C-alpha cells in the first residue's frame, strides 16, 4: 500500500493546480500561498518517498514533471493576469515548456522512444521558479518584502528559463543528429 503513496502525492499536487489558480484570481493570496507551499511539500515528499520505498513507476516518472509544469504554468499565468508578474515573464516560462514538450514529441515521432531525465539546470530552473512565485505571493500577504527581491527574482527566472530551454534544445538536437546518423548508417 505504501508503494502507491508517491504517486498519490503527485496526483494530489496535480489536483491542487485548479484551486491554486482560482485563489490567485480571487486575490486570496494567503490561501494561495498555503496551497503553493502544500504543493511544494508534496513535490519534495513524493520524490523522497519514491526513493525511500523503492517505489518507482513509469506512471510516476511521467506524471511528476507534468504536475510540476502544470502547477507552474497555471500559477505564473494567473499571477500575470492579476498584474503580479509581467506577461513577458509568464510567456518565457510557459514558452520554454512548450518548446521542450514540442521537441520531445517531434523526436518521438521522427526517431522513436525517448529517454528523458531532468538536467541539473532544469531542476535549478524549477527551484528558482517556485521560489520566485512564493516570493510574489508572499509580497501580497506580508509587509516588508522588498521590491528588489521581486526584481532580482524576475531576472533569475528569465535567465534560468532561457538557459535551461537552450540546454534542452542543444541536447535534443545532438540526440536527433546521432539518431539521424544512426538511421542513415543502417539504411546503406
Please measure the distance between the N-terminal and C-terminal CA atoms of the chain and give it in whole angstroms: 52
Residues 18 and 2: their CA atoms lie apart, in Å, by: 26
pTM of the model: 0.87
pLDDT of residue 112: 78
What cell does 188 get?
A: 546503406
pLDDT of residue 23: 98
pLDDT tens digits, one per residue of 102-155: 888 887 888 877 777 778 999 899 999 999 999 999 999 999 999 999 999 999
Average pLDDT on 16-45 reads: 94
The length of the chain in residues reads: 188
pLDDT tens digits, one per residue of 140-185: 999 999 999 999 999 999 999 999 999 988 988 888 888 778 766 6
What cell does 105 get?
A: 514529441
Which among 76, 99, 100, 98 is positioned nearest to 89, based on CA atoms?
Answer: 76
pLDDT tens digits, one per residue of 67-99: 989 999 999 999 999 999 999 999 999 999 999
What cell does 118 get?
A: 531532468
Output the CA–CA distances (angstroms, integers) from residue 10 to 27, 40, 123, in the order listed.
Answer: 26, 10, 17
Tell me how many degrees the CA angle 29-35-38 measures, rounded to the nearest 5: 145
Contact indicator for 63, 11 with CB cutoff of 8 Å = yes
Given a cut of 60, whether residue 187 has pLDDT beyond it is no
Evaluated on CA atoms 65, 67, 70, 73, the torsion sign reads: negative
pLDDT of residue 186: 62
Which among 131, 126, 119, 129 is positioned nearest to 157, based on CA atoms?
Answer: 129
Give the DSSP letter string of 110-167.
HH--------HHHHHHHHHHHHHHHHHHHHHHSTT--HHHHHHHHHHHHHHHHHHHHH
pLDDT of residue 188: 53
Amino acid at each position: 500500500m505504501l508503494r502507491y503513496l508517491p504517486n498519490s502525492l503527485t496526483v494530489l499536487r496535480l489536483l491542487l493546480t485548479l484551486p491554486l489558480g482560482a485563489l490567485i484570481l480571487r486575490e486570496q493570496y494567503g490561501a494561495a500561498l498555503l496551497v503553493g507551499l502544500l504543493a511544494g511539500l508534496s513535490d519534495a515528499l513524493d520524490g523522497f518517498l519514491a526513493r525511500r520505498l523503492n517505489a518507482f513507476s513509469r506512471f510516476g516518472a511521467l506524471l511528476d514533471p507534468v504536475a510540476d509544469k502544470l502547477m507552474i504554468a497555471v500559477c505564473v499565468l494567473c499571477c500575470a493576469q492579476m498584474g503580479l508578474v509581467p506577461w513577458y515573464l509568464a510567456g518565457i516560462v510557459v514558452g520554454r515548456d512548450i518548446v521542450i514538450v514540442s521537441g520531445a514529441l517531434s523526436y518521438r515521432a521522427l526517431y522513436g522512444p525517448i529517454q528523458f531525465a531532468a538536467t541539473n539546470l532544469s531542476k535549478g530552473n524549477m527551484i528558482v521558479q517556485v521560489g520566485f512565485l512564493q516570493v510574489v505571493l508572499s509580497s501580497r500577504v506580508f509587509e516588508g518584502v522588498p521590491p528588489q527581491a521581486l526584481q532580482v527574482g524576475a531576472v533569475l527566472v528569465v535567465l534560468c528559463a532561457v538557459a535551461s530551454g537552450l540546454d534542452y534544445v542543444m541536447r535534443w538536437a545532438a540526440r536527433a543528429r546521432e539518431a539521424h546518423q544512426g538511421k542513415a548508417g543502417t539504411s546503406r
